[in-house]
Chains A and B, each alone.
Chain A
Amino acid sequence: MIRLEGVGKHYPGAARPAVDGIDLLIEEGRTCALIGPSGCGKTTTLRMVNRLIEPSSGRIVVAGRDVTAADPVKLRRGIGYVIQGTGLFPHLSVAGNVATVPRLLGWDRARIAARVDAMLGLVGLDPALFRDRRPASLSGGQRQRVGVARALAADPPVLLMDEPFAAVDPLERGRLQREITEILRRLRKTVILVTHDLDEAIRMGDTVAVMRDGRLVQHDRPDQVLAAPADAFVAEFLGSDRALRRLTLLTAAAACRSGERPPEGAPEVPAEASLQVALSILLGSGAEALAVVDGGPRPVGTLSLAAIRALAAGLPDPSGAVARSPPLV
């Protein structure tokens, strides 16, 4: 759990605070994507959580402890930290990099070696092949995987990620986003992810927090932010295609009327496909409804164009498809 209470950062001589009294609650095991235009204070906010920047006001509570009163060096050993371009140590092997925090914590050699291999396996790198290599010999994506393995090595409950995949090519980025999100969910890490990439925020965030000029403008589930932007700024930041983006969050299975027989000859869509894919099939085929199939003998249900339209517009959703997680505090 991470809680920010009225956290602000005012640099001496600056006209306005870089961060202006932010209240933010990230529940245990959830990922909050902090997003906003450059200079909005999102990175400053992130770096105050592990005290790389000292807050000028407010309180930050991480896993029940007030970090503003803690020793910053010890504090950081208990908080995973992943940055853009990874910041891997070029003079150390992959294993040496991953072992950074366990070594600082004084683990014995055998425990560190076992942990390094487990972490590399976790992020999809074969320990036998990668353990002894240098960061310079890795691809951008592999480096970023090592960066995540290093951050998770001492099993911190909380992880801070600052534009972690910005330097990775788009194909690899998508794969990394999916895999790392899955790992973080499975390990129940509480995560703050700073990004300027809306797709990344929607894909990885359980919640999205939009910042502007040092203030938190909106914090909600991705589908809620997309459906109901708090103001004109958020709406513009999300873009005119936010209704389409929102469809990527919903599956055909969750949005269809289950049990209803589809019309004769209706095109099929896999149950796990997103509504964006379903809409594409509908538009391409000219049909009014799709048969949602899951490989069983009969279709799961019927997905109509009208249902997608209603969901995209953010209308009350009769099937409850959007309510994935409990409402935010």
Chain B
Amino acid sequence: MLDLVAWLRAHPDLLLRTGGEHALLSGLSLLIAAGIGLPLGIALTRQPRLAGPVVALVNTLRTIPSLALLVIMLPLLGTGTAPSVVALVLYGLPAVLLNTMAGLGGVPSDIVDAARGQGLAPAQVLARVELPLAAPVILAGLRSAAVQIVAAATLAVFIGGGGFGELISAGMGLLDTPQLVAGALAVAAMAGAAELGFGWAERMATRRLGPTAP
């Protein structure tokens, strides 16, 4: 314990740099996963015939272990941040996509019918009715994607992506337990923060749908 504190005191710059890398890697990956998953999920709920095959494909993607996904990128994209981000995007995409589809699919059809019947254009039905009602489920998808990505980003170090994984792998290589534990705890803390943040947003979105206004 004291060793850990001493290590942290001695290496604030290293912690800050790897933390920054980890956050950038995770944040960018989540952003891109959301940028693909949300529109794709919306599009697929409008094209139910394509939804089946795409969901099957995405579920297959889910079964590939995260380390394998990262290593697959090595021959394709080389080392560094870019291949790490691509792998992490693929890793986080299923949760975003599937929850977007589940959320939109769960919007009661009579409410959508009423919205269309009042004269909302298709884009207005989506933005003003479907997305707000699907928001809790979509945010739950973003939450699990964020946690998964933050955790998996630890492995990016193996293809030169940096992040807290550096502390862990260096700690293991040098038998430097404090450094290893510091890296592990830092990943856990960042994943926990993502969980709490999106969990809070999810609760807010759910409360908006409740009997009383927030």
Listed in ascending order, the chain A residues whose CB lies under 8 Å from chain B are 50, 52, 73-78, 81, 83-91, 93, 100-101, 104, 132-134, 136-137, 150-151, 160
Contacts and interface: CB of A to CB of B under 8 A. Distances in A.
Interface in B102-127: 108, 110-111, 113-121, 124
Interface stretch (B69-77, B138-146, B179-187, B206-214): B206-214
Contacts of B210: 134, 136
B111 A104 contact: no
14 contacts: A52-B116, A73-B121, A76-B116, A83-B110, A86-B114, A87-B117, A88-B114, A89-B128, A100-B120, A101-B119, A104-B118, A134-B210, A137-B212, A151-B118
A90 B118 contact: no
B159 interface: no
Interface of B is mostly: helix
B212 A81 contact: no
B118 A77 contact: yes
B114 A81 contact: yes
* Contact-residue size bin, chain B (C-beta under 8 Å from the other chain): 20 to 34
Interface in B185-214: 208-213
B110 A100 contact: no
Interface in B122-167: 124, 128-129, 132-133
Contact of A134 (B115, B118, B213): B213
Contacts of A132: 213
A51 to B, nearest CB: 10
Contact of A52 (B117, B124, B133, B212): B117
Instruction: Identify the interface centre among A73, A77, A136, A137: most chain B CB within 10 Å of its CB.
Output: A73
A74 B111 CA distance: 19
A91 B208 contact: yes
A134 B119 CA distance: 22
B118 A81 contact: yes
B118 to A, nearest CB: 5
A101 B118 contact: yes
B132 A91 contact: yes
B113 A90 contact: no
A151 B115 CA distance: 11
Given A89-B129, A134-B212, A83 B119 contact: no
Contacts of A78: 119
Contact of B118 (A76, A91, A136, A137): A76
Contacts of A73: 119-121
Given A81-B114, A100-B118, 7 more contacts: A89-B115, A90-B111, A100-B120, A104-B119, A132-B213, A134-B210, A134-B213
B211 A83 contact: no
Residue of A76, A90, A101, A137 with highest tally of chain B CB at under 10 A = A90
A50 B117 contact: yes
A181 to B, nearest CB: 21
Contacts of B121: 73
A50 to B, nearest CB: 6
A52 B114 contact: no
B115 A87 contact: yes
A75 B114 CA distance: 14
Given A89-B115, A89-B129, A134 B120 contact: no
Give the one of A83, A87, A137, A150 with max B CB within 10 A.
A87
